């Protein structure tokens, strides 16, 4: 049996935790590519390592994964309008590109330079093997792309799926490797 403090150490993955730092050194499967099937389609909520994020695909087909909440008054960008290479907040119209940079701020003259200082947290999002992967760690430690064998074969040679399991990562892994399941 794990003691409470050991359990906390192993299962917490938010920013600033030990296991969170470890997971942030790998590419993580964030969602299925088919969930962002179209340019300018509806944005998708993504919860990863205790971070609330929004994934979207812009007008040019580029993927973005940015902080869910607008830097102005914290409105969820899940309600945003995905248009003309950016996600526009529905409240006061601040608009962000796929890097999280604010590219339009209607209530402030551009000459003040304020818009350029507004940027949401963002992570790279790449498609390999029908999966959208993200890397959430320090840029200087970003590993090579997740080009596993299954991700490089033609789509008709693989099957990818996703399911939601309401538990922490260790409970899922422990269930998966339970030797009684082998038989």
CB half-sphere exposure, 160, CA atoms < 13 A: 21
Q: Which of these segments, 5-13, 58-66, 85-93, 141-149, binds ligand FES (CB under 6 A)?
A: 85-93
- Residues in the chain, how many? 183
Binds ligand FES by CB under 6 A, chosen from 70, 98, 102, 136: 70
User: Which residue, 6 or 107, is less far from ligand FES as judged by CB?
Assistant: 107
**Does the protein bind ligand FES through residue 25 (CB under 6 A)?**
no
Size of the site for ligand FES (CB under 6 A): 9
DSSP conformation letters of 125-161: EEEETTEEEEE-S-GGG-------HHHHS-GGG----
Residue 49 neighbours by CB distance under 10 Å: 19
Question: Is 81 near ligand FES (CB under 6 A)?
Answer: no
Window 88 to 127, contacts with ligand FES (CB under 6 A): 89, 91-94
The window from 21-29, 54-62, 68-76, 135-143 that contacts ligand FES (CB under 6 A) reads 68-76
E-only strand ranges, 7-149: 27-32, 44-48, 51-57, 63-67, 81-82, 87-88, 95-96, 102-104, 122-123, 125-128, 131-135
- The single residue among 9, 22, 34, 73 that binds ligand FES, judged by CB under 6 A, is 73
Q: How many CB atoms lie within 10 A of CB 114?
A: 13
* Residue 150 lies near ligand FES (rule: CB under 6 A): no
Q: Does 78 bind ligand FES (CB under 6 A)?
A: no
Contacts with ligand FES, residue ranges (CB under 6 A): 70, 72-73, 75, 89, 91-94
């Amino acid at each position: 049996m794990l003691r409470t403090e050991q359990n906390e150490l192993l299962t917490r993955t938010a920013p600033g935790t030990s296991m969170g730092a470890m997971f942030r050194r790998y590419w993580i499967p964030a969602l299925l590519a088919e969930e962002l099937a179209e340019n300018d389609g509806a944005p998708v909520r993504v919860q990863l390592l205790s971070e609330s994020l929004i994934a979207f695909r812009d007008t040019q087909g580029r993927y973005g994964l940015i902080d869910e909440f607008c830097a102005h008054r914290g409105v969820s960008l899940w309600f945003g309008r995905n248009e003309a290479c950016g996600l526009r907040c529905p409240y006061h119209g601040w608009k962000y590109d796929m890097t999280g940079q604010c590219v339009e701020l209607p209530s402030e003259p551009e000459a003040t330079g304020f818009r350029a200082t507004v940027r949401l947290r963002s992570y790279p999002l790449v498609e390999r093997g029908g999966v959208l992967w993200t890397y959430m760690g320090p840029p200087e430690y970003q590993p090579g792309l997740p080009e596993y064998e299954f991700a490089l074969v033609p789509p008709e040679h693989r099957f990818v799926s996703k399911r939601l399991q309401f538990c922490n990562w260790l409970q899922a892994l422990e269930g998966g490797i339970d030797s009684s399941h082998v038989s």
